[in-house]
Amino acid sequence: MVYSTNPDFIFEDDVQEETETLPKHSQKLRVAIERKNRGGKTVTVVKGFVGRDESLKELGRLLKTKCGTGGAVKDGEILIQGERKEQIITLLRAEGYSDTK
């Protein structure tokens, strides 16, 4: 806690606000397949989502449901079990994420 005797002192909190979620057509999502540091398992990773954590988790839940597989949302990335790159790109484009590679 900081106390100031300056009457013009303005308290600034160090907490960063979450960025607003960009519209679906403005998102630049990248889908890749990774095997490193995964214990030999293949994982499809969706990167590049800009927005709130709740929106990212909702998208991750949708992809896991549509793919019928497990996965997780960690560190701003969506991890889907298995090699499902083409299926995920098709699903994302159908949902309105037009700039997906």
**Which residue range forms the structural domain that includes residue 90?**
24-100
Would residue 9 count as lying in a domain?
no
Would residue 36 count as lying in a domain?
yes
Would residue 37 count as lying in a domain?
yes
Answer whether 0.85 is exceeded by the pTM.
no
Would residue 32 count as lying in a domain?
yes
Per-residue CA distances from 24 to 13, 20, 72, 92 (Å): 31, 12, 21, 9
4-39 confidence digits (pLDDT tens): 677 787 777 665 555 788 888 888 999 999 998 888
Would residue 49 count as lying in a domain?
yes
The DSSP bridge pattern shows strands 43-47 and 28-34 to be antiparallel
Mean pLDDT on 75-89: 94
Interatomic CA distance for residues 59 and 92, integer angstroms:
9
Count the domains in the chain: 1
Would residue 10 count as lying in a domain?
no
